[in-house]
Amino acid sequence: MSLPEPHPLDLPRTPPLRLRGRTFDASSPAVMGIINRTSDSFFAGNRHADLDSAKRALDEAVSAGADIVDIGGVRAGQQGEVVGPQEEMERVIPFLAHARASYPDLALSLDTWRSEVAAEAGRHGLDLVNDTWAGHDPDLVHVAARIGAAVVCSHTGGLPPRTDPVKVSYGPDPLDVVRDVLVTLANGARAAQEAGIPADRILVDPTLDFGKTTMHSLEVLRHTADVAALGFPILQALSRKDFVGESLGLDADDRLEGTLAATAVAAWLGATVFRAHDVRATRRVVDMVAVIRGDRAPVHAVRGT
């Protein structure tokens, strides 16, 4: 019997992301810690309406290995409080000012769809505008360019902010959702470049759960390598999401292991930035995947030598 000849691995890789003097790529993946300045986040473990609570969460995220911290002032889903632009600013700006003063080298991201909020945040050294609603405010990308911030281009299936998906369909072929994601992300990245943002400061995010059923999200996750082929760094925001919960029949509090499994798959397929509630666990998973892929060396490799 002839034995198969092993072949070199041909794994997806994306160009590097550069933020605040640091480079993130397959050998140095980034963990984006989540801090929600809300009382109604879907995950109770990340509700920091109190500023002191948010400050403690910041210290914990940095200590656990966060490279980026993403601050949000409004719950993503339609349930919960109505939050106008002024109140959103009051929630996020004092925290951003504290975070910048406390950690000058930490990359700071703001999860907002509002250009006026991003413009004000730019006065406090904002590094990344995380536009999770796919350019709903067309001026947001221009504000990001003006304040010198990177930008996240997302996919929501055309839904406006804070809209939960209902009876979503992209067509009869399961791959239709992947095609829609690829077109939308390519167009978003092109708009960001046209606004003056360099390619190494543009992230594409398939945005699982947003505008998608669980089956859509799973299909898109399987095709992370196709997203990598767009030629931009990939952000995967997988943490404790509903597609994980519905896959395993678990509430948000019990979705850590499912999240980490999805994280490992996304990292293997080319994603390099991971938005996470559970920073330490995510840090270890993505670093281990980078070692298994051969993108970085083990910390020690002395066994048997």
pLDDT digits (tens, 9 = 90+) for 28-73: 999 999 999 999 889 988 999 999 999 999 999 999 999 999 999 9
Q: Is the pLDDT of residue 138 over 90?
A: yes
Region 94-121: mean pLDDT is 97
In a domain, 245, yes or no: yes
**Residue 166 confidence (pLDDT) above 90:** yes
Percentage of the chain modeled with pLDDT above 90? 94
pLDDT value for 1:
85
Percent of the chain predicted with pLDDT > 70: 100
> What is the predicted pLDDT for the residue at 79?
82
What average pLDDT does this structure show over 181-209? 98
What residue numbers bound the domain in which 230 lies? 25-293
pLDDT above 90 (res 78)? no
Give the mean model confidence (pLDDT) for residues 223-238. Answer: 98
CB atoms within 10 A of CB 9: 8
Mean pLDDT across the chain:
96
- Identify the pLDDT of residue 305: 94
Query: In this structure, is residue 20 part of a structural domain?
Result: no
* Residue 12 counted as domain residue: no
Is residue 304 a part of any domain in this protein?
A: no
Total number of domains in the chain: 1
Token pair for 28: 């140095």
How far is CA 96 from each of CA 21, 70, 154, rounded to the nearest angstrom?
Answer: 19, 10, 23
Give the whole-angstrom CA distance, residue 18 versus residue 176.
Answer: 32
Average pLDDT of the residues in 177-190? 98
pLDDT of residue 244: 98
CATH number for the domain harbouring residue 177: 3.20.20.20
Asked if residue 94 belongs to a domain, the reply is yes
Backbone phi and psi for residue 263, each to the nearest 5 degrees, phi listed first: -65, -45
The rounded distance, in Å, linking the Cα atoms of 110 and 94 is: 13
User: Pick from 43, 69, 236: which is nearest to 154 by CA?
Assistant: 236
For residues 191-218, one letter each, b for 16 or more C-beta atoms within 10 angstroms of the residue's C-beta and e for the rest, the string is bbbebebeebbbbbbbbbbbbbbbebbb
pLDDT classification of 282: cutoffs 50, 70, 90 = very high
State residue 93's pLDDT score: 97
How confident is residue 292, by pLDDT bands cut at 50, 70 and 90? very high
Asked if the structure places residue 14 within a domain, the reply is: no
pLDDT at residue 227 tops 90: yes
Domain-located, residue 19 = no
- Residue 104 counted as domain residue: yes
